[in-house]
Amino acid sequence: MNTPSTRNHTSASLPNRWPWQRSLQARMIIAFGGAFLIILTILTFWLGRTVYNTYLDAAEHDLEVVAFLASNALEDPLSGYANEFAQYQQWEAERIRNAATQNVTHEGEQKEDKVNKDDDEDDEHDERPTPTLAPTPPPTPPPTPPSPAIVLPRLQGVADIYARDANARVTILDRNGHPVVDSLYPITLIAPQGAQPEVSTALRGDELSDIRPDAITGALTLFAAAPIQQGSEILGVVQLSQPMQLVAEKARNLVLTIIAAGVMAVLASTLLAVWISRQLVRPVLRLEQAALATAQGDLTQQVPVQTSDELGALAQAFNTMVGAVRTMLEQQRAFVAHASHELRTPLTNIKLRIEAVREMGDEAPDISARYLAEIESEADRLTRLANALLDLAHLESRPSAPPAHSVDLAPVLHNAAAIMQLRAQTAGVMMETTAPPTLPPVKVHPEQIEEAVLNLLDNAIKYTPAGGRVTLAASTTQDHLTVTVSDTGPGIPPDDLPYIFDRFYRVDKARSRARGAQNDMGSGAGLGLAIVKQLVEQNQGRITVESMLGQGTNFAVSFPLMA
CA 416 to chain centre: 63
Comparison of 67 and 416: residue with beta carbon closer to ligand ADP: 416
Asked whether 121 and 115 are in contact (CB, 8 A), the reply is no
Comparison of 146 and 526: residue with beta carbon closer to ligand ADP: 526
Comparison of 408 and 546: residue with beta carbon closer to ligand ADP: 546
Least separation in angstroms between CB 408 and ligand ADP: 26
Name the site residues for ligand ADP (rule: CB under 6 A): 459-460, 463, 487, 489-490, 492, 500, 505-508, 512, 516, 522-530, 553
Asked whether 553 and 491 are in contact (CB, 8 A), the reply is yes
Least separation in angstroms between CB 429 and ligand ADP: 11
Least separation in angstroms between CB 373 and ligand ADP: 22
SS (H, E, C) 299-329: CCCCCCCCCCCHHHHHHHHHHHHHHHHHHHH
CA 163 to chain centre: 58
Least separation in angstroms between CB 385 and ligand ADP: 10
Least separation in angstroms between CB 562 and ligand ADP: 30
CB atoms within 10 A of CB 257: 11
Comparison of 163 and 470: residue with beta carbon closer to ligand ADP: 470
Residue 280: phi and psi, rounded to 5, are -75, -35
Comparison of 294 and 448: residue with beta carbon closer to ligand ADP: 448
Q: Give the 3-state secondary structure of residue 236.
A: strand
Least separation in angstroms between CB 322 and ligand ADP: 31
Comparison of 305 and 517: residue with beta carbon closer to ligand ADP: 517
Asked whether 313 and 283 are in contact (CB, 8 A), the reply is no
| Closest residue to bound ligand ADP by CB | 528
Q: Provide the pairing of β-strand 208-213 with 220-230.
A: antiparallel
Residues 6+ apart with CB under 8 A from 160: 170, 183
Strand (E) or helix (H) holding 422: helix 410-427
Cα distance from N-terminal residue to C-terminal residue, the chain: 55
Comparison of 419 and 545: residue with beta carbon closer to ligand ADP: 545
Comparison of 442 and 470: residue with beta carbon closer to ligand ADP: 470
Comparison of 225 and 385: residue with beta carbon closer to ligand ADP: 385
Strand (E) or helix (H) holding 226: strand 220-230
Least separation in angstroms between CB 547 and ligand ADP: 7
Least separation in angstroms between CB 492 and ligand ADP: 5
CB atoms within 10 A of CB 372: 13
Comparison of 236 and 528: residue with beta carbon closer to ligand ADP: 528
Least separation in angstroms between CB 27 and ligand ADP: 56
Least separation in angstroms between CB 450 and ligand ADP: 16
CA distances in angstroms from 413 to 460, 476, 488, listed in the order given? 15, 14, 20
CA distances in angstroms from 294 to 281, 284, 306, 318, listed in the order given? 20, 15, 20, 10
Instruction: Please enumerate, as own/partner, the contacts of 455-458 that have beta carbons within 8 Å and a separation of 24 or more.
Output: 455/521, 455/522, 455/528, 455/529, 455/531, 455/532, 456/485, 456/532, 456/555, 456/557, 457/416, 457/417, 457/420, 457/431, 457/485, 458/420, 458/423, 458/519, 458/521, 458/522, 458/528
Least separation in angstroms between CB 352 and ligand ADP: 23
Asked whether 542 and 533 are in contact (CB, 8 A), the reply is no
Comparison of 213 and 465: residue with beta carbon closer to ligand ADP: 465
